[in-house]
Structure 1
Amino acid sequence: MIRIFAYDDNPERLHSLRILIELSENMEYIGEAPNCESVEEEMQQYQPDIVLMDINMPGVDGIEGLKIIKSRFPQIKVLVQTAFDDSEKIFRSISGGASGYILKSDNPRRILQAIEEVYEGGASMNPAIAKRVLEYFQPTAGQKLLTQKEQEVLKLLSGGLSYKMIADKLEISYSTVNTHIKHIYNKLHVSSLGEAVSWYFKNMKE
């Protein structure tokens, strides 16, 4: 039997997971909690094989809970589940030691399959998430998306120049710089200056 503990702040979601798992012959639903405030005690008490971990919860969230589990109970596998296909959360979860990543919108069969894959030592990932990961770890793919001018703007932006300074240096208008930066954000799937600069230093800086 695969012993499963679930974290989610949505009671209806927990109820659905409990019913789904209890209907599966090779799985046992052993416990649940609305956040990770007592994660260490719960892991010690229940000793699950798999933890279904929501990310966005009040108090101690899933990212922090994941870190605690992997540092204190490395044998427990964590399958992250969320309603958001957010790149930053995906990579923080994976770097934190998650064994898989599913979306809450995945159908019941896919969720059970993911649990079994992780239990057997595999790394289960929703296809949409897998695509994001591949794009992230293939910097040339992202770089090819940027035009020459966008690469120039990103380089200057990463050098600490303001929008106005970039406009003056490239002899273009302030609004054109703003447009270029919006395109950069969209193409690189980032939402802030910090993420864009981080991407530049990871993938483009020589």
Structure 2
Amino acid sequence: MIRVVLADDQPLVRTGLRMILSDQEDIEVVGEAADGAQAIEICAERNPDVVLMDVRMPGVDGIDATRAVTAAKDPPRVLVLTTFDLDDIVYDALRAGASGFLLKDAPEERLITAIRVVADGGSLFAPSVTRRLIEEFSRRRAPSREPEAFGSLTDRETEVLAHLARGESNAEIAAALFVTENTVKTHVARLLMKLGLRDRVQAVVLAYESGLVQPGG
């Protein structure tokens, strides 16, 4: 059973989300929050697997709430709810620890699929969508110095990270490097662990922010 918390300041939105999810046998809504502070409190009490987090809420907003709940010892995965698919606030939410974002007008099937994918440890974005999103925002920021943690990566892990940041799937990376998909999965898991990252989305963000990969490169 996937335990979900709904965080949105609009009661009608929360009601609609709850109605959609109530029909799913493997998803249970265990709490609702009208602002970020409530979301933090409820997550600490209910220990959900996934939080549907609105970005703009009164008081503590969705970005600060995301940063707080993902810093917990056993953190939930966060899906950011937004009206716009290219928005600086969405990018900041990803940096705060969110695993992806979902448009509020997304079809019900996409919402349900997204929750299941994120709960299973994946990210919401298809690789190509991730690349386009991060490239758009990275164009507005000067690359910073490479993190010291990059020094712990092997040459092959660094190579895999670069391919991953360009939006390539495991199959595409495997073909480019002449290895199996399982080998790629192992490299991805190891580089995430070494860099202290939660998922592929955060790896893509770091790759562009550090200058390892340049927009359009």
Task: Tell me, yes or no, whether TM beats 0.5.
Answer: yes
Indicate the larger mover: 120-129 or 106-115: 120-129
CA distance in 1, matches of 2:28, 2:16: 14
Instruction: Assess if the C-alpha contact under 8 Å between 2:82 and 2:90 holds in 1.
Output: no
Larger Rg: 1
Q: CA deviation at 1:13?
A: 0.7
SS at match of 1:57: coil
SS at match of 2:13: helix
Structure 1 runs (4+) deviating above 6 angstroms are: none
Q: CA deviation at 1:41?
A: 2.3
Q: CA deviation at 1:73?
A: 4.4
SS at match of 1:51: strand
Q: 1:130-181 CA deviation, whole Å, 9 max, x = no partner? A: 3642533775xxxxxxxxxxxxxxxxxxxxxxxxxxxxxxxxxxxxxxxxxx
Indicate the larger mover: 24-33 or 121-130: 121-130
SS at match of 1:118: helix
Larger RCO, structure (CA 8 Å, separation 6 or more): 2
CA distance in 2, matches of 1:137, 1:8: 25
1:130 paired residue number: 130
Q: Normalized against structure 1, the TM-score is what?
A: 0.62
**Mapping of residues 73-152 of structure 1, within 5 Å:** 73-125=73-125, 130=130, 132-136=132-136
The one-letter amino acid paired with 1:30 is V
Structure 2, unaligned stretches of length 5 or more? 140-210
CA distance in 2, matches of 1:6, 1:13: 9
The one-letter amino acid paired with 1:36 is G
The one-letter amino acid paired with 1:83 is T
1:31 paired residue number: 31
Total equivalences in the alignment: 144
CA RMSD of aligned residues (A): 2.8
CA distance in 2, matches of 1:37, 1:108: 27
Q: CA deviation at 1:125?
A: 2.6
Instruction: Assess if the C-alpha contact under 8 Å between 1:99 and 1:123 holds in 2.
Output: yes
